[in-house]
Amino acid sequence: MISKRAQNLQPSATLKVTGRAKELKRQGKSIVSLSAGEPDFKTPKHICDAAIKAIEEGFHGYTMNPGTPELREAICAKLKRDNSLDYDPSQIICSNGAKQSVGFSILALIDPGDEVIIPAPYWVSYPEMVRLADGKSITIRTSFENNFKLTPEQLEEAITEKTKALILCSPSNPTGAQYTAKELEGLAEVLREHPQVYIISDEIYEYIVFEEEHVSILNVAPDLKDRVVLINGFSKGFAMTGWRLGYLAAHNDIVSAVSKIQSQETSAPSSISQKAGEAAYKGSLEEVEAMREQFKKRRDYLVNALNTLKGVSCFSPGGAFYVFPDISHYIGTKKQDGTPIGSSTDLCLYLLDEFGLALVPGDAFGEPNGIRLSYAASMNDLEEAMKRLKEGLASLT
DSSP states of 192-205: HT-TT-EEEEE-TT
Residue 18 pLDDT > 80, yes or no?
no
Domain with 273 in it: 60-282
pLDDT in tens, 217-259: 999 999 999 999 999 999 999 999 999 999 999 999 999 999 9
Q: Does 187 fall in a domain?
A: yes
Same domain, 319 and 275: no
**pLDDT-derived band at 5, boundaries 50, 70, 90:** confident
Distance in angstroms (rounded) separating the CA atoms of residues 123 and 5: 20
Same domain, 83 and 142: yes
Residue 63 · residue 46 · CB < 8 Å: no
> Closest Cα to residue 29, out of 37, 38, 20?
20
**Domain endpoint, select from 229, 258, 282:** 282
Residue 17 pLDDT > 80, yes or no?
no
pTM: 0.95
Same domain, 264 and 333: no
Q: Does 55 fall in a domain?
A: no
* Amino acid of residue 381: D
C-alpha distances out from residue 234 to 35, 199, 204, 271, 368, Å: 20, 21, 8, 15, 31
Percentage of the chain surpassing pLDDT 70? 99
Between 196-200, 299-303, 306-310, 343-347, the lowest mean confidence (pLDDT) is in: 343-347
pLDDT of residue 10: 80
**pLDDT-derived band at 20, boundaries 50, 70, 90:** confident
| CATH number for the domain harbouring residue 128 | 3.40.640.10
Which residue would you say has higher pLDDT here, 219 or 29? 219
pLDDT of residue 230: 98
Q: Does 292 fall in a domain?
A: yes
Preceding omega of 127 cis (within 30 degrees of 0):
no
pLDDT in tens, 30-71: 999 998 888 999 999 999 999 999 999 999 999 999 999 999
pLDDT in tens, 116-167: 999 999 999 999 999 999 999 999 999 999 999 999 999 999 999 999 999 9
pLDDT of residue 317: 98
**Domain endpoint, select from 248, 282, 316:** 282
| CATH number for the domain harbouring residue 14 | 3.90.1150.10
Average pLDDT of the segment spanning 257-270: 98
Residue 95 · residue 248 · CB < 8 Å: yes
Q: Does 49 fall in a domain?
A: no
Preceding omega of 340 cis (within 30 degrees of 0):
no
**pLDDT-derived band at 26, boundaries 50, 70, 90:** confident
Max CA pair span of the chain? 64
pLDDT of residue 36: 83
pLDDT of residue 98: 98
Distance in angstroms (rounded) separating the CA atoms of residues 197 and 69: 30
Average pLDDT of the segment spanning 23-28: 86
Mean pLDDT of the chain: 96
Cβ neighbours of residue 86 closer than 8 Å, sequence gap 6 or more: 79, 80
Same domain, 239 and 310: no
Same domain, 96 and 236: yes
Same domain, 243 and 315: no
pLDDT in tens, 67-120: 999 999 999 999 999 999 999 999 999 999 999 999 999 999 999 999 999 999
pLDDT of residue 86: 98
Same domain, 92 and 171: yes
Residue 282 pLDDT > 80, yes or no?
yes
Q: Does 52 fall in a domain?
A: no
Same domain, 241 and 325: no
> Closest Cα to residue 336, out of 311, 363, 355?
355
> Closest Cα to residue 272, out of 47, 77, 90, 102?
47
Residues in the chain: 397
Same domain, 345 and 299: yes
pLDDT of residue 91: 98
**Domain endpoint, select from 264, 282, 300:** 282
Residue 376 pLDDT > 80, yes or no?
yes
Average pLDDT of the segment spanning 260-284: 98
Same domain, 26 and 172: no
pLDDT of residue 1: 87
Find how far residue 351's CA is from the centre of its chain: 24
Residue 11 pLDDT > 80, yes or no?
no
Residue 168 · residue 202 · CB < 8 Å: yes
Q: Does 380 fall in a domain?
A: yes
Residue 13 pLDDT > 90, yes or no?
no
Q: Does 69 fall in a domain?
A: yes
**246-249 vs 92-95, strand pairing mode:** antiparallel
Distance in angstroms (rounded) separating the CA atoms of residues 51 and 9: 36
> Closest Cα to residue 268, out of 281, 258, 282?
258
- Number of DSSP helices (H) and strands (E) in the chain, helices first: 14, 12
pLDDT of residue 9: 83
Same domain, 270 and 367: no
Torsion of CA 386, 22, 372, 206, to 10 degrees: -110
Q: Does 51 fall in a domain?
A: no
Q: Let me know if 227 is exposed, middle or buried by CB neighbors in 10 A (0-12, 13-18, 19+).
A: buried
Number of domains within the chain:
2
Q: How many Cβ atoms are within 10 Å of 220's Cβ, its own excluded?
A: 20
Same domain, 75 and 151: yes
- Sheet containing strand 246-249, edge to edge, reads 92-95, 246-249, 228-233, 198-202, 163-169, 115-120, 136-141
